[in-house]
Chains A and B, each alone.
Chain A
Amino acid sequence: MRDFVSKRARAIPPSGIRKFFDIAQTMEDVISLGVGEPDFVTPWCVCEASIYSIEQGSTAYTSNKGTPRLRDSLSRYLDTRFSTRYDPEEEIIVTCGVSEAVDVAIRTVVDPGDEVLVAEPCYVSYNPCVSLAGGIPVPVLCRAEDEFRLTADALAESITPRTKALIANFPNNPTGGVMQEADWHAIADLLVDHDLLLISDEVYAELTYDGDHFSPARIPELRDRTITLNGFSKAFAMTGWRIGYLCAPPEITAAALKIHQYVALCAPVMGQIAAYEALRNGEDEKDAMVREYRLRRNLFVDGLNKLGLTCHVPKGAFYAFPSVESTGMTDVEFAEGLLREQHVAVVPGSALGPSGAGHVRCAYAVSRDDLKEALSRMGTFLGSIK
């Protein structure tokens, strides 16, 4: 029999955490700081609205773009919350999580041979999605000394005549880095000068702790060359519902809709009803969760720095990204040792891009008791290797 697996599928590298996953599966008492999702359960009003809708028989396909009332409320939400204006009819598509939106956005704009700049370290799906679309992912490194912001200098170095787009995710997974308005203005000039498109994954926008999130589509020159991606998973603790959305000017949205409708048809209706309820009545609980993340961040980052694991104060998302350089170990050695000996799961930074090497990603979306226990176990681990 032939090998039926395509060259494309074969070329996708295996997950950088598979090995860790397997080790963790054998342990009973793992404290996992390895999960990129909130530990909170979805606000009850959201669950309840969705349960009720199922009881009422709302179980059918929706419009490909998503239900009109969800798009309407998304449009209002984006305006009030982030000062970005998107027309609910022509500029918003509700997707199966931001994951699908990433893939659809990339396939909408990338031709074979196009170079796509990817701000690293970053979430793992951008590079494979670019490759699957026939594009060439080109890393742009964000560095610890810049608090993991994307700088115009780093960007300028990587632009070539074949560059088509930039993918950026701020607040950032895994670093917790954010971009302020001024940071984006410097990037905007380059994008305009070189006629590039921006894919801005803002799924952690609500999780911004010092100051407000700045959405790059607010910059008038960027507005029509930006695809803004966002979703409900992180802000409203709704990872399992799979609801994200893509916002872009009408021509791009129309093209994206063709891909979305053939790939997914529509996002799950239960999730869309839940998302609508989250926007309508979930804000207080969302705010309470965000306040709690901030307190956890303070507690955890303080603890890391006291242990000698240098960590800048992440201003967004729910990840701390300490350096493990002081231990003399690589990030993979550190993560593996910590898991094997102290049963604490963290993600080695190098699994999230070359500039993540020497760091580990710790999700502080776990209870404060677990964070304290994790810090204490990390202390024991560090003591044992000296």
Chain B
Amino acid sequence: MDEKDRILLQELEENCRTPLSELAVLAEMSEEDVKERISRLEAAGAVRRYGAVVDWERAGDGKVTAVIELKVSPERDFGYGRIAARLARFPQVRSLRLMTGAYDLQLLVTGPSMHEIARFVSEQIAPMDRIRETATHIIMRTYKENGTTFAEREEAERLPYSF
């Protein structure tokens, strides 16, 4: 990855709808080169997906999100890999990470209600083989997501002119 790749990736991460022509100007290269580089980054898996950062609460469709900690007994030969792969297939699981510390896997789970998340955890996750313990933490409020602050902030005043 070089400086130009980094510029493109940052731009796409910030706003994946930026037109090619603008990316070309920003990164000081031709549109053709931008296209080619993006295809290459997509093919290499550096760009996984294009999406929007949605504030569902503000959009009027408040969903419940929970962080779920799992203690898992790793399998001989497979470690955490197979159990992680099983968990990842549930559409409710938005992200899944192996952590250092007091527990092993961390899930971010979204559902229409607290009740539904409780049901999902107790009936579908907890009974799975090799899962020893679960702890569910409901997210009460999101202040910042993927680098974007959700709260409104007053702009500080600036002079219209200064030398």
Q: Which residues of A contact B (CB under 8 A)?
A: 17, 20-21, 24-25, 30, 32, 34-37, 39, 41, 123-125, 173, 291, 295, 298-299, 302, 345, 347, 351-352
Q: Is B2 interfacial (CB-CB < 8 Å)?
A: no
Q: How many residues of B contact A (CB 8 A)?
A: 14
* Closest 6 A/B residue pairs (Cβ): A24-B160, A34-B161, A32-B160, A124-B163, A302-B25, A295-B26
Chain A: minimal CB distance from B90 (Å)? 37
Q: Is B28 interfacial (CB-CB < 8 Å)?
A: yes
Whether the Cβ atoms of B161 and A299 lie closer than 8 Å is: no
Residue ID in chain A nearest B159 by CB atoms: A35
- Chain A neighbourhood of B133, CB < 8 A: none
With contacts A295-B26, A299-B25 taken as known, whether A24 is within 8 angstroms of B162 at the C-beta atoms is: no
- Chain A neighbourhood of B163, CB < 8 A: 17, 36, 123-125, 173, 347, 351-352
Whether the Cβ atoms of A299 and B22 lie closer than 8 Å is: yes
B118-163 with Cβ < 8 A to chain A: 156, 158-163
Whether the Cβ atoms of B22 and A35 lie closer than 8 Å is: no
A20–B68 CA distance with the chains assembled, in angstroms:
58
Chain A: minimal CB distance from B23 (Å)? 10
- Chain B neighbourhood of A32, CB < 8 A: 158-161
Whether the Cβ atoms of A37 and B158 lie closer than 8 Å is: yes
Chain A: minimal CB distance from B29 (Å)? 10
Residue ID in chain A nearest B25 by CB atoms: A302
Whether the Cβ atoms of A298 and B159 lie closer than 8 Å is: no
With contacts A41-B156, A295-B7 taken as known, whether A17 is within 8 angstroms of B161 at the C-beta atoms is: yes
- Chain B neighbourhood of A124, CB < 8 A: 163
- Chain B neighbourhood of A302, CB < 8 A: 25
- Chain A neighbourhood of B159, CB < 8 A: 21, 32, 35
Report whether over half of chain B's contact residues are helix, strand or loop; otherwise say mixed: loop
Residue ID in chain B nearest A210 by CB atoms: B28
22 contacts between A and B (CB under 8 A): A20-B160, A20-B161, A21-B161, A24-B160, A30-B160, A32-B159, A32-B160, A34-B160, A34-B161, A34-B162, A35-B159, A35-B160, A35-B162, A37-B158, A291-B7, A295-B11, A295-B26, A298-B28, A302-B25, A347-B161, A347-B163, A351-B163
* Given pairs A30-B160, A32-B159, 8 additional interface contacts (CB within 8 A): A17-B163, A20-B160, A21-B161, A32-B158, A32-B160, A36-B162, A37-B162, A351-B163
With contacts A17-B163, A173-B163 taken as known, whether A39 is within 8 angstroms of B26 at the C-beta atoms is: no
Residue ID in chain B nearest A292 by CB atoms: B10
Chain A: minimal CB distance from B45 (Å)? 24
Q: Which residues of B contact A (CB under 8 A)?
A: 7, 11, 22, 25-28, 156, 158-163
Give the most central of B11, B22, B26, B160: most A CB within 10 Å. B160
- Chain A neighbourhood of B162, CB < 8 A: 34-37
Residue ID in chain B nearest A24 by CB atoms: B160
A30–B161 CA distance with the chains assembled, in angstroms:
11
Residue ID in chain B nearest A339 by CB atoms: B160
- Chain B neighbourhood of A24, CB < 8 A: 160-161
Residue ID in chain B nearest A23 by CB atoms: B160
Whether the Cβ atoms of A298 and B25 lie closer than 8 Å is: yes
Chain B: minimal CB distance from A208 (Å)? 15
With contacts A17-B163, A123-B163, A352-B163 taken as known, whether A35 is within 8 angstroms of B26 at the C-beta atoms is: no
Whether the Cβ atoms of A25 and B7 lie closer than 8 Å is: no
A291–B158 CA distance with the chains assembled, in angstroms:
22
A153–B11 CA distance with the chains assembled, in angstroms:
44
A32–B157 CA distance with the chains assembled, in angstroms:
12
A25–B160 CA distance with the chains assembled, in angstroms:
8
Chain A: minimal CB distance from B98 (Å)? 27
Give the most central of B27, B28, B163: most A CB within 10 Å. B163
Chain B: minimal CB distance from A337 (Å)? 16
A62–B11 CA distance with the chains assembled, in angstroms:
44
Residue ID in chain B nearest A36 by CB atoms: B162
- Chain A neighbourhood of B158, CB < 8 A: 32, 35, 37, 39
A102–B98 CA distance with the chains assembled, in angstroms:
56
- Chain A neighbourhood of B156, CB < 8 A: 41
A302–B27 CA distance with the chains assembled, in angstroms:
12
Chain A: minimal CB distance from B154 (Å)? 12
Chain A: minimal CB distance from B94 (Å)? 28
A163–B108 CA distance with the chains assembled, in angstroms:
71
Chain A: minimal CB distance from B104 (Å)? 31
Whether the Cβ atoms of A299 and B26 lie closer than 8 Å is: yes
Residue ID in chain B nearest A301 by CB atoms: B25
Chain A: minimal CB distance from B67 (Å)? 25
Whether the Cβ atoms of A345 and B26 lie closer than 8 Å is: no
